[in-house]
Amino acid sequence: MTRQGPRDDIDENDLVVGSAKDYAAGVPAVLVSMQRAVEQMGVVRTARTLTRLNQRHGFDCPGCAWPETPGHRKPAEFCENGAKAVAEEATLRTVTPEFFASHPMSLLAERTDYWLGQQGRITHPMVVRPGGDRYEPIGWDDAYRLIAEHLRGLDSPDEAVFYTSGRTSNEAAFVYQAMIRSFGTNNLPDCSNMCHESSGSALTETIGIGKGSVTVPDLEQADLILIAGQNPGTNHPRMLSTLEKAKANGAKIIAINPLPEAGLLRFKDPQKVGGVVGHGVPIADEFLQIRLGGDMALFQGLGRLLLEADDRNPGSVVDRAFVDAHCAGFDDWAAHVRAVDLDTVALATGLTRRQLDETAAALAASERTVVCWAMGLTQHAHAVATIQETVNVLLARGMIGKTGAGVCPVRGHSNVQGDRTMGIWEQMPEEFLAALDAEFGISSPRSHGFDTVDAIRAMRDGRARVFVAMGGNFVSATPDTAATEQALRNCELTVQVSTKLNRSHVVHGRTALILPTLGRTDLDVQDTGKQAVSVEDSMSMVHLSRGRLHPVSEHLRSEIAIVCQLARELLGADHPVPWRRFEADYDLIRDSISRVVPGFEDYNVRVRRPDGFQLPHPPRDSREFPTHTGKANFTVSPLEWVPTPAGRLILQTLRSHDQYNTTVYGLDDRYRGIKNGRKVVFVSAPDIAELGLHDGQIVDIVSEWTTADGRLEERRVHGFRVVEYSTPRGNAAAYYPETNPLVPLDHVAAKSNTPVSKAIVVRLDPVGNS
């Protein structure tokens, strides 16, 4: 294995379909991660990098938001996919001005996100001027002037949109939102709008805080863990070690998923002898193969069965003391779920009555229950209500705010939770804005800004004209690709602060800038010396992250430096926020945060403790629920589910094992048996037969959407291979972002406005005589 150049673009003709695996990790995981790392970084940098990953004096993994194990850390606290995320960022391949000179936009436009990402780290600030056909180098100061001119030329600050992806550190997010609010808008959409927004909405209303209430030790001590709508073997592999420990302590694990995901079934820990030579440990004791969008019905049905069990033996199931002391709305909820029709539940979930009874019995017998979930619950039209039904069941059993029990939304991006805590939100509460204003002597706007979907609408309709992105890949990550592309093309200026090339650089406004930035692994030196940043994981732990690698180009600037320098240009030298001092010394940013954001007192001291510190969480810490009633709220929602229309399928869009969101590392979805390609659609054998198709056939996937005024709209992606797979009748699955063109912009979750990426009505149109 030696360092290699980028591979060719995808040729879907090379696609090979093998059999799906029933275990995750094991030796292949180690081999694949080392191979990818060496290809990108060479042997020396690989060794330097992977030994620093998730260590106390190293950098936080830019992969997922799963917490590090507190206390002792193993010498290799990472997983296959964490290693791939690092290799992708720490690569020695570069995208230089010469690259851009020989790659006009028309050429880049033909390339996939896979090819674009493979080219390496961007080395210089680049610009495309109106009518230009390729990026040219631009100096940093000229770039800032250009942005400031465009922003100052707007009729209102609300004509600008500032997006954030979830890798941005706390410090960078804090200065970024301070600049944006000083400029005068709350247009702060972020990737969370497409991700766990539904969890935040659901939890804030019910328990008073939009974050999970458990820690790693809680999971290890739970006796029952439900994992709904999550594929940890691929997306949070380090979670499997925690689950393995929980199992060793006697926990029962129930996986609720339309797909038999490898990591949920069996896990071979590559860091243990048994994981290398043995068969691994089974993870899930039960697998409920639920229909897409059936979880709300499941939890309402479980609510009814639990109440009936309590009727048979009063006080044995419902935790009356907890409900009486801490909850509101129990009676209304009880009346509602008692009336739920269990036959409808069976239809909506595709589960048998016996499976429902057994799951209810497991819940009734458990003393410490945790429910974990991710995108399988959050990206549905009724996502908020679904998550609230899981909360209802936990509240009835008194399972919040005690050891080994609680809610566990498993976040995606490594600092998506921290960015929100730092003010990246289009609707930050008044207390935060007031504290921010008091700290700096500014006056933040108070009207709510655009979230992601509203930002696309505003740019489409000409109500927003400048788009700035702090990371991410807006064009490929958002729904309705055609609409989003048009929205960005409508803009006068688009600015991408990025590490790597992606489609959002190729689909751009009349003027476009790329500002290349340091990543998590890079050494960050400012006027006062080496800097560290901090992040908050999925369980509210805040800790430091220090990059160590020499940046691939001397022209890269940290996200903080970019924001502070742009802010000085935009807001003037005498602006009250001390931009120059912030840029020179990140401790000073943390001092400001400690005065603005509750829970960050003594930030600089506490963040330097070995495992950092944990933010307060009233329900977890003291069974206090800061909701509008002052109690934990049961909620009542009319039952919704997703029936399949005749001749159609319900499609979910999900991740392969070889990608990080829109960053495609490679073309193998090893656990699902896919090699060398991505354009597949997984369908059950009986549906393939009923639709008159055959395994291996090439089809177009066509989504069908009826608009509010009754028009039928069709959206199409071309040339997908039908793969026979274990999924419920009427359901199908295909990879994102290739299928984002199918997701209608207006198909969003109630309350959270999250695009419905897990339930799209589609038909499969055969292509030619394949």
**By the criterion CB under 6 A, which residues form the site for ligand MGD?**
63-64, 81, 117, 165-167, 191, 194-195, 228-231, 234-236, 256-259, 261, 290, 292-293, 295, 374-376, 379-380, 412-413, 470-474, 477, 497-500, 502, 517, 519-520, 559, 652-655, 659-663, 736, 739-740, 743, 757-758
Mapped onto helix, strand or coil, the DSSP state of residue 162 is strand
Report which DSSP code applies to 154. Answer: S
Helix (H, G, I), strand (E, B) or coil at 406: strand
CA separation for the pair 531, 182 (Å, rounded): 25
Amino acid of residue 210: G
Q: How far is the CB of 110 from Mo ion (least distance, A)?
A: 28
- Angle of helix 452-460 versus helix 481-489 axis, rounded to 10: 60
Selection from ligand MGD, Mo ion, none that 323 binds (CB < 5 to 8 A by kind) is none
Residue 235 binds which of Mo ion, ligand MGD, none (CB < 5-8 A, kind-dependent): ligand MGD
Report the nearest approach of Mo ion to the CB of residue 413 (Å).
6
Task: State the nearest-atom distance from the C-beta of 452 to Mo ion, in Å.
Answer: 12
**Number of alpha carbons in the 13 Å side-chain half-sphere of residue 744:** 22
Q: Taking the complex as a whole, how short is the minimal distance between the CB of residue 623 and ligand MGD, in angstroms?
A: 28
Q: How far is the CB of 648 from ligand MGD (least distance, A)?
A: 17
Q: Which is nearer to ligand MGD, 186 or 231 (CB)?
A: 231
- Cα separation, 72 vs 50, in Å, equals 17
> Quick one: which of 120, 85, 109, 106 has its CA closest to 7?
120
Alpha carbon dihedral 674, 675, 677, 680, in 10-degree steps, equals -20
Residue 261 or residue 668: which is nearer to ligand MGD going by CB? Answer: 261
From the list ligand MGD, Mo ion, none, pick the one residue 295 interacts with, judged by a Cβ distance below 5 to 8 Å according to partner type: ligand MGD
Q: Taking the complex as a whole, how short is the minimal distance between the CB of residue 521 and Mo ion, in angstroms?
A: 21
Find the length of the chain: 770
Q: Is 430 helix (H, G, I), strand (E, B) or coil?
A: helix
- E strand or H helix at 373, and its extent? strand 369-373
Q: Could you give the dihedral angle defined by the CA atoms of residues 10, 15, 19 and 22, in that order, rounded to the nearest 10 degrees?
A: 0
- Residue 702 near residue 765 (C-beta atoms within 8 A): yes
Q: How far is the CB of 380 from ligand MGD (least distance, A)?
A: 6
CB of 411 to Mo ion, least distance (A): 7
Q: Which is nearer to ligand MGD, 318 or 477 (by Cβ)? A: 477
Residue 500 contact, options Mo ion, ligand MGD, none, Cβ 5-8 Å cut-off depending on partner type: ligand MGD
Contacts of residue 641, Cβ cutoff 8 Å, sequence gap at least 6? 291, 293, 294, 296, 297, 344, 347, 348, 349, 382
Q: Which does 26 bind (CB under 5 to 8 A by kind): Mo ion, ligand MGD, none?
A: none
What the block records as the tokens of 425 is 């939100």
Residue 449 or 516: the one with the smaller Cβ distance to ligand MGD is: 516
- Residue 226 C-beta: closest distance to ligand MGD, Å: 10
Residues 6+ apart with CB under 8 A from 708: 746
* 540/727 with CB nearer ligand MGD: 727
Burial 563-583 (b: 16+ CB within 10 A, else e): bbbbbbbbbeeebebebeebb
* Distance in Å from the first CA to the final CA of the chain: 38
CA neighbours closer than 13 Å in the CB half-sphere of residue 124:
15
CA distance 558 to 179: 16
Cβ neighbours of residue 349 closer than 8 Å, sequence gap 6 or more: 288, 290, 291, 294, 295, 297, 298, 301, 356, 641
- Point out which residues bind Mo ion (CB under 5 A): 195, 412
- Residue 662 interacting partner from ligand MGD, Mo ion, none (CB closer than 5 to 8 Å by kind): ligand MGD
- The interface partner of residue 21, options being Mo ion, ligand MGD, none and the CB cut-off 5 to 8 Å by kind, is none
Q: Which is nearer to Mo ion, 195 or 396 (CB)?
A: 195
229 binds, among Mo ion, ligand MGD, none (CB under 5 to 8 A by kind): ligand MGD
C-alpha 104/C-alpha 118 separation (Å) is 17
Note whether 734 and 653 are within 8 A (CB): yes
Residue appearing with tokens 């180098």: 137
Among ligand MGD, Mo ion, none, residue 418 binds (CB under 5-8 Å by kind): none
Complex with Mo ion: residue 412 or 755, whichever CB lies closer: 412
Nearest to 682 by CA among 735, 723, 654, 651: 723
701 binds, among Mo ion, ligand MGD, none (CB under 5 to 8 A by kind): none
Nearer to Mo ion, 195 or 681 (CB): 195
> Of the two residues 318 and 756, which places its CB atom closer to ligand MGD in the complex?
756
Q: How far is the CB of 100 from Mo ion (least distance, A)?
A: 30
Residue nearest to Mo ion (CB): 412
Residue 560 binds what, of Mo ion, ligand MGD, none (CB under 5 to 8 Å, by partner type)? none
User: Between β-strands 94-95 and 121-122, what pairing exists: parallel, antiparallel or unpaired?
Assistant: parallel
Looking at the Cβ atoms of 411 and 590, the one nearer to ligand MGD is 411
| Closer CB to ligand MGD, 633 or 731, in the complex | 731
Query: Between residues 69 and 235, which has the closer beta carbon with respect to Mo ion?
Result: 235
Minimal distance, residue 596 CB to ligand MGD, in Å: 23
- DSSP line for 195-229: TTHHHHHHHHHHHSSSS----HHHHHH-SEEEEES
**206 or 496: CB nearest ligand MGD:** 496
Given Mo ion, ligand MGD, none, residue 161, with its beta carbon under 5 to 8 Å by kind, binds: none
| Distance in Å, CB of 745 to ligand MGD, minimum | 12
Min CB(401)–ligand MGD separation in Å: 25
What is the spatial distance between Cα 743 and Cα 445, in angstroms, rounded to a whole number?
32
Q: H/E/C letters for each residue in 305-355?
A: HHHHHHHHCCCCCCCHHHHHHHEECHHHHHHHHHCCCHHHHHHHHCCCHHH
* Minimum distance, C-beta of residue 707 to ligand MGD, in the bound complex (Å): 20
- Using an 8 Å Cβ cutoff, are 348 and 297 in contact? yes
Smallest distance from the beta carbon of 94 to ligand MGD, in angstroms? 14
119 contact choice in ligand MGD, Mo ion, none (CB below 5 to 8 Å, kind-dependent): none
Q: Which does 64 bind (CB under 5 to 8 A by kind): ligand MGD, Mo ion, none?
A: ligand MGD
Which does residue 165 touch among Mo ion, ligand MGD, none (CB within 5 to 8 A, set by kind)?
Answer: ligand MGD
Nearer to ligand MGD, 401 or 730 (CB): 730
| Residue carrying structure tokens 């393995």 | 244
Give the nearer residue to Mo ion in terms of CB position, either 261 or 524: 261
